[in-house]
Amino acid sequence: MSQIYTAVVKHDGEWWIGWVEEVPGVNAQKQSRELLIISLREVLSETLVMNREEARQAAGAGYEEFAPLLKALATVSKHCLNELPSH
C-alpha cells in the first residue's frame, strides 16, 4: 500500500522552502523549486525509514504490524468527511 504525502512549498526571497504536512520534521530549503521537491522526497524517505526502525526497536520482540490499519483509517476518515454538512 502506498501513502500519499502533501508538500507545502513557498518562494521566500532567494529560497524555496517547504515541508510535508503529514510528517513533522520533514522540511527543506533550496534555491529552486525542483531541488526543493527532490530534497523533500529524500528527507521524507529517510525519516520514514528511521521512524519504522525506531518503532520496531521500541516494540521489542513479538510485535505485530497492521498495515491495513492505515487503509481502514483512511476509509473511516473518508466516511466521516462525507458526513459533514455542506456549506
Q: Which pLDDT tens digits describe the chain residue by residue (87 residues)?
A: 468 899 999 999 999 999 999 999 999 999 999 999 999 999 999 999 999 999 999 999 998 887 766 555 555 545 444 455 554
Domain boundaries, the chain: 7-83
Cell 524517505, located at residue? 45
- pLDDT value for 55: 94
pLDDT at 72: 53
